Amino acid sequence: MRSIFISLLFLCPLLCFSQLEIKGTVISTTETIAFANVILSTPGSDGTVITGAITDENGNFTISAKEGTYTLSIRFMGYTEWQKDIALDNHIDLGTITLESSTTSLDEVVITKTKKVIERKPDRLVFNVENSIAASGGDALDALKIAPGVTIQNNTLSMIGRGASRVMVDGRILQLSGEELIDFLNAIAASDIKKIEIITNPPAKYEAAGNGGLINIVYKKGARNSWKNTTTLAYNQNTYNFTTLRNNFFYNKNKLRFSVTANGTKGNNREIEEVDVYYPNGPWVLDMDNKANKDNISGRLSIDYDITDNIVIGAQYLGNQNTPDNTVQSTTQIFNATNQLDSILDNTGFFDRKVKSHLYNLHMITTLDTLDRKISFDIDYFDYDNTLKQDNVVNTFLPNGELVGINYAAMNLSDQRIDNFSAKIDVEHPFPSVNVSYGGKLSFIKTINGLQNFTTETGTPVFDPISSNQFEYTENIQALYVNASKKINDKWEFQLGLRVENTFTEGFSETLNQTNTNEYLKFFPTAYISYQKNDNNVFSLNYGRRINRPGFRNLNPFRIYVNSNSFSEGNPFLQPSFTDSFEFNHTYNNILTTNAFLNITSDGFGTIFTADQETEVQAVIRENYYKSYNWGIGETFSFSKLPWWKSQNQIYFLGYKTVIDDAINANAEDGFQLYLSTNNTFTLSKTTKLQLNFVYNSPHKANLFDISETYNLNVALKQSMLKDKLQLSVLVNDILDTSSYSRLASVVNGIETVYAQNYSPRFARISLSYTFGNNKIKGKQRGFGNDEERNRSN
């Protein structure tokens, strides 16, 4: 297979340059301009149009023509037309082209053009974070919480009705999940994010991991021949408070582009949880109130350099260090069969955590010829280290407050380290009749989880070797893919892809002296077809198969006790789950989109909360235990008829059907769900904008759980000053304090467990941002053959 792949790569024909290129970046005085018309014509007022293009979302354009003399024109509604006579005898880079604003009045209505906060594209939903007032001053996790159709439950990111999703940064997958992923997202500033792409059914080029598709975080890029610096100070207030200071610097001139970002956060957040377990002998009621530390320092460095007209090299670094300590105070009330209070377990603890992560990337992009044949290389290394010192003392009291004795006293020292090295190559190889792309990836992951347990009942820590453990896990993946797309005519277009992944895993528990291995070769086909009936109606149908691999911690077989009655353990025999996704879309007049989907998941795995009726021991275990059928139909409606009001609205009707393995003594919860969201931006004046958002999830049943309704109302205001250089933003999130789960119930082994949580989603944030820089750095007028590639590499 390796020899075939190498042959495919290096048999790409190298063609001679036959045309010359003109390129540039179109901007206004404040931002890049997307979708501007670029026209190249023969000289004169009645010149013949030779060719043309439309600027991309970053304002860039490239057009090709033979040697000669031409007139280049750039037009965009609301701006004065730009023209320049050009003698084309070599590649030309026009650098930054600034269009002057011109107000066009029709019956006293001013026509302006701004990018939508939310955009529906054929294969993805795009949340333009840079245009969202509600995301101002927050981090990546804050932005994801208000992204349409994205939910965060028990540290798992998922798409409504579809299941767990994987996260990418600039198209590069993050080998993180659960708590580790949340820590990483907390370190990314929302002000550093251009957009978030929600890809429900990714093509073969992307990782096959993630039953619920992929979420791609795309960083901002600096405009060509310019530099810019933005400093942001934000203050958040809930029960506690925390403050964040961020700085973003961008530089882009001639061959060199780089950006530097630094972030610092200090303060605390309140986290409340409640768990009720209904035993036959009487219920146990756990109430937990944590003060979570949010101290964090993070940064990003990105640099790209054009070695030649056709070769770009670059590097990127992401670093994060935080101390998410927790002061834990919890009580468990134990009732008897007549519902009288029998005793109380009082838990006082402290979690001393230190988390460090480093992500390094090297990349090179080569354009082979004027036919857009390209090769890109990426090498990535990720290092994650999470150390935790946990002190817990649980005392038993009678209802009158009399101390009975110590129920549990221990000190745990744990250390989790993840090392991931990966290398990939992507080739874009267009032919006259079909566009073909192919590539491959190698990934090597090693994780070590160490746990040392000490009993502290006597006041002096005593090492307990039986309850201590070290778990080592390795995962190696080799992947190849090929993708082909073709536009048959003006109405029909199709795309077919196939990704092949070979996976080998090995887990070793030192204390149990247990080794578990697994190896499998899997195929992941994708297919897309679209039909444009007319200018107002576009239909598309797609299919894809995906895989969801267990998280590293879920594979650790060691049993970790929280107290004498509660423990958690992983399962080294967990298998990956597989999902077949079918999706249909219809777009009408670019304002109304109908979406219908069906996801079928086999070998589904997850966390099960169990309790023993006789011993009253509570356990958290992981199993492959279900097959599920999730489906949905929904509408997305865009409204922008009024110049002062833009609205994006979604409504989905969702259904869940789960078949549970007979070995699991649990009740399947099947049902329906209604999802509503509306995102509204009001332009109160040229310098003042108001954003009003609302999300509603109806009560529903899915998988093992009976889930309460949630809804979130937030309002944000942005005031621009000093010619948009100074911006003041105010956000009040979850005004009604109703976005948390008040009930998440399941029945396993005949015992009902009801969970509720509130991590302080209701808060107020005020942020102040100041931007300064120069959009007119003088640059050399030279030609590049790789605008698109440079954008991808940033």
Q: In this predicted model, what pLDDT tens digit does every residue of 704-743 receive, in sequence order?
A: 899 999 999 999 999 999 988 999 999 999 999 999 989 9
Taking residues 348-369, report their average pLDDT. 89
**Token digits of residue 313:** 């090299």
**Token digits of residue 723:** 């010619």
Contacts of 615 (CB under 8 A, 6+ apart): none
Q: Which of 393-397, 475-479, 490-494, 607-611 has the lowest mean pLDDT?
A: 607-611
d(C-alpha 21, C-alpha 94), whole Å: 11
Whether residue 513 has pLDDT greater than 70: yes
At residue 619, what are phi and psi to the nearest 5 degrees?
Answer: -135, 145
- Name residue, tokens 């134990």: 334
Average pLDDT, the chain: 84
d(C-alpha 445, C-alpha 417), whole Å: 11
Q: Which of 181-195, 443-457, 469-483 has the lowest mean pLDDT?
A: 181-195
Taking residues 613-622, report their average pLDDT. 83
d(C-alpha 215, C-alpha 152), whole Å: 13
In 3D, which of 483, 511, 512 has the Cα closest to residue 495?
Answer: 483
Which residue(s) pair with 731 in the sheet? 716, 765
Which of 266-300 are b and which e, b meaning 16 or more Cβ less than 10 Å from the residue's Cβ? ebbbebeebbbbbbeebbbbbebbbebbbebebbb
Taking residues 436-462, report their average pLDDT. 91
In 3D, which of 503, 428, 474, 749 has the Cα closest to residue 616?
Answer: 749
Amino acid in the structure at residue 445: I
CATH topology of domain 118-793: Maltoporin; Chain A (2.40.170)
Sequence spans of domains, the chain: 2-103, 118-793
pLDDT confidence bin for 234, thresholds 50/70/90: very high
In 3D, which of 399, 442, 438 has the Cα closest to residue 420?
Answer: 442
**Residue 469 has what pLDDT?**
85
In 3D, which of 307, 321, 220, 290 has the Cα closest to residue 256?
Answer: 307
pLDDT confidence bin for 400, thresholds 50/70/90: very high
**Residue 503 has what pLDDT?**
95
Q: What is the DSSP string of 5-63?
A: HHHHHHTPPPPPP-SEEEEEEEE-SSSB--S-EEEEE-SSTTPPEEEEEE--TTSEEEE
Residue 372 vs residue 699, higher pLDDT? 699
Amino acid in the structure at residue 375: I
CATH topology of domain 2-103: Immunoglobulin-like (2.60.40)
Residue 736 vs residue 210, higher pLDDT? 736
Which residue(s) pair with 264 in the sheet? 245, 297
pLDDT confidence bin for 208, thresholds 50/70/90: confident
Q: Which of 357-371, 536-550, 732-746 has the lowest mean pLDDT?
A: 357-371
- Do residues 491 and 531 lie in contact, with contact meaning Cβ atoms separated by under 8 Å? yes
Q: Which of 161-170, 210-219, 688-697 has the lowest mean pLDDT?
A: 161-170
Amino acid in the structure at residue 13: P
d(C-alpha 359, C-alpha 121), whole Å: 30
**Residue 222 has what pLDDT?**
67
- Do residues 384 and 357 lie in contact, with contact meaning Cβ atoms separated by under 8 Å? yes
Whether residue 301 has pLDDT greater than 80: yes
pLDDT digit string, tens, across residues 671-698: 999 999 998 989 999 899 999 999 999 9
CA–centroid distance for 137 within its chain: 18
Taking residues 497-502, report their average pLDDT. 96
- Do residues 624 and 604 lie in contact, with contact meaning Cβ atoms separated by under 8 Å? yes
The dihedral through the CA atoms of 425, 428, 431, 436 has a sign that is positive
Whether residue 377 has pLDDT greater than 80: yes
Q: In terms of C-beta density within 10 A (0-12 exposed, 13-18 middle, 19 or more buried), how is residue 432 classed?
A: exposed
Angle at 31 between CA 308 and CA 646, to 5 degrees: 135
**Token digits of residue 555:** 């594979």
Which of 755-772 are b and which e, b meaning 16 or more Cβ less than 10 Å from the residue's Cβ? bbbbebbbbebbbbbebe
**Residue 178 has what pLDDT?**
67
**Residue 18 has what pLDDT?**
47
Q: Percentage of residues in the chain with pLDDT exceeding 90?
A: 39
In 3D, which of 171, 283, 213 has the Cα closest to residue 788?
Answer: 171
At residue 52, what are phi and psi to the nearest 5 degrees?
Answer: -160, 170
pLDDT confidence bin for 457, thresholds 50/70/90: confident
**Token digits of residue 169:** 């940064």
**Residue 793 has what pLDDT?**
29
d(C-alpha 449, C-alpha 417), whole Å: 7
DSSP assignment letter at 554: G
**Residue 316 has what pLDDT?**
92
Residue 438 vs residue 23, higher pLDDT? 438
- Coil, strand, or helix at residue 179? helix
d(C-alpha 138, C-alpha 778), whole Å: 34
Whether residue 371 has pLDDT greater than 70: no
d(C-alpha 299, C-alpha 412), whole Å: 31
Q: Which of 165-174, 495-504, 646-655 has the lowest mean pLDDT?
A: 165-174
d(C-alpha 58, C-alpha 583), whole Å: 29
How many other CB atoms sit within 10 Å of the CB of residue 701?
A: 18
- Do residues 463 and 446 lie in contact, with contact meaning Cβ atoms separated by under 8 Å? no
**Residue 526 has what pLDDT?**
94
**Residue 106 has what pLDDT?**
37
**Residue 433 has what pLDDT?**
84
Contacts of 489 (CB under 8 A, 6+ apart): none
First to last CA, the chain: 32
Catalogue the E-assigned strands of 398-491.
403-430, 435-455, 462-463, 469-487
Whether residue 1 has pLDDT greater than 60: no
Taking residues 137-162, report their average pLDDT. 75
pLDDT digit string, tens, across residues 569-598: 888 888 999 999 999 989 888 788 899 999
